[in-house]
Amino acid sequence: MNTITTINPATNQPLSTWSRLDDDQARAAVEQAARTWRAWREVPLAERAPPLLRCAALLRERKEALADLMAREMGKPVRQGIAEAEKCAWVCEYYAAQAASFLEPEPVKTEAQKSYVAFEPLGVILAIMPWNFPMWQFFRFAAPTLMAGNTVVLKHAMNTSGSSIAIGELIRDAGYPEGAVVPVIIDHRQIEALIRHPAIRGVTLTGSTRAGQTVGAAAGAALKRSVLELGGSDPYVILADADIAAAAELCATSRLINSGQSCIAAKRFIVVEAVRKDFEEALLAALKKRVLGDPLDKATDVGPQARADLRDELHEQVRKSIAGGARNLLGGEIPAGPGSYYPVSLLTGVRKGMPAYDEELFGPVAAVIAARDEREAVALANDSIYGLGAAVFTRDLARGERIARHELQAGCCFVNDFVKSDPRLPFGGILESGYGRELGRAGLLEFVNIKSIVVK
């Protein structure tokens, strides 16, 4: 097919049709980014910051329009879309201010007259971006990457092709040279050829573990650097001394971010038996308050799932979990009417062997798992193929910090709060949640040549 049609998940009606690039056009896009890189890498760092700051300003100016686009393309409630655009502006401002210090050469004392570590641009980076946070996932990667002197070829998920084009327009309007960021509308079968292109020097992917395995294998075969931010089934450990009311509100918020379609959403609530009933009641009350509805309505907390097939896969996971012995306390049935909606749902009595325990549930379904005590709760939290985020709730901060730092196996661990990304802190996972880091200084250094210089 030479065209891609996006679907509005709130209505399941066609939204827009886009022309797909053929293989020659995709290669030409890479070559355009390569030509721009040869000039962009020579631009002084101080002169790379103004267009990034202009991006921040444009993101704020266009936040309502961008939120409307995300709502129509993938169902994100508009209030959350506005917040996403504002967070993108923050990351742009952060790297515009901090990149120069992050890239400052580091002197090292050796026997030579002078020796130091320099950080040089790597080249063209292929960004394979998902549909769930179409603006944030791009800008959190692109802000440091562009400041480092690289250029970008952007391949978005097909159902957010309009968001990809909108990003390209914003980058252009911010004053970047033509070819600094080149959006390409292609299907997944064309990605491997782009990875092999000699001008591509690195690959970043945010997506499923299966997609990460495919892209990571292709990047490895081509000896290209890669960063993979993949799936997650984040455990939230609720200890007996937790503030149950506060924990339940934070857990409900995390579970329902982006209608439950977030890699770092809380997914497994592991509760010590002494407070399990109290937590279930509080969580049930908190979940019931969230409004399911039209993503264009600012009163909506939970919109449709991004695609009908994803909604149906989620329901099958819920159905199998209930058949395996889980108890359904809320939701669990596909509502009548148009759109790919799934209700806010709560399962309890979840055990190993059920999809709600073993798999990532990418939607508004919370799973409560009982534990005898702290030791078993931590063991259950770590009993997962994933390792993206985790949280622990306790009034004893020293206890919580010990568990978060030394015992929970994840890339991002929080105490008495839900897991979230922050431009100032490295973000990424371990195990089947991927490797490499975004954000912070570590994220900027993923796509630079860390070069040792010795003068004798």
Identify the CA nearest to 144 among candidates 170, 125, 167: 125
Count other Cβ atoms within 10 Å, centred on residue 417: 12
Q: Which of 84, 93, 229, 407 is catalytic?
A: 229
- Would you call 229 a catalytic residue per the annotation? yes
- Would you call 106 a catalytic residue per the annotation? no
Measured CA to CA in angstroms, residue 295 lies from 11, 82, 130, 392, 447 at distances of 11, 12, 19, 31, 36
- Tokens (6 digits) for 370: 């009982």
Task: State the Cα angle at 319 between 314 and 323, rounded to 5°.
Answer: 150
In angstroms, the CA 199 to CA 126 distance is: 10
- Tokens (6 digits) for 297: 């309505």
Helices (H), 3-119: 23-40, 45-61, 63-74, 78-102
Q: Which of 55, 263, 412, 413 is catalytic?
A: 263
Q: Tell me, rounded to whole angstroms, the distance of Cα 215 from its chain centroid.
A: 16
Identify the CA nearest to 96 among candidates 137, 135, 136, 144: 144
Backbone angles phi, psi at 280, to 5 degrees: -55, -45
Long-range contacts of 85-90 (CB under 8 A, 24+ apart): 85/59, 85/60, 85/135, 86/59, 86/60, 87/136, 88/55, 88/56, 88/59, 88/135, 88/136, 88/138, 88/139, 88/140, 89/55, 89/56, 89/57, 89/59, 89/60, 90/56, 90/423
- Tokens (6 digits) for 264: 């770092």
- Tokens (6 digits) for 105: 């050469």
Identify the CA nearest to 284 among candidates 339, 366, 352: 366
Measured CA to CA in angstroms, residue 80 lies from 242, 310, 312 at distances of 28, 20, 24
Positions marked catalytic? 229, 263
